């Protein structure tokens, strides 16, 4: 089972973790597992805690799939990394 250290990711580690989760979520046997739910929640908590997205951002996406959310979060993290590096 993949484990994470809550809130201790660098932006690059977070990016790779999100990409791994996107690939894993494409497998219908992974979706809905305890690992998938835990990992998704850790990503959601992290991006909220770092103000990469807001609760309103999540509220607008209530009907999105996990894959859609993770892809959107990935793009936000990438933009956030770029904005802080300049």
Render pLDDT for 10-38 as a digit per residue (tens, 0 to 9): 767 889 999 999 999 999 999 899 999 99
- How far apart CA 3 and CA 73 sit, in angstroms, is 20
Residue whose token pair is 């997205």? 53
Check: pTM over 0.75? Answer yes or no: yes
Structure tokens at 85: 């590096």
pLDDT in tens, 34-63: 999 999 999 999 999 989 999 999 999 999
What's the distance, CA 52 to chain centroid?
11
List the chain domain ranges. 11-85
């Amino acid at each position: 089972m993949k484990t994470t250290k809550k809130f201790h990711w660098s932006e690059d580690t977070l990016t790779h973790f999100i990409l791994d989760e996107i690939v894993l979520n494409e497998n219908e046997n992974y979706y809905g597992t305890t690992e998938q739910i835990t990992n998704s929640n850790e990503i959601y908590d992290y991006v909220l805690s770092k103000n990469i997205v807001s609760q309103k951002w999540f509220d607008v996406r209530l009907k999105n799939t996990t894959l859609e959310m993770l892809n959107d979060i990935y793009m936000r993290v990438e933009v956030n990394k770029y904005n802080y590096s300049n």
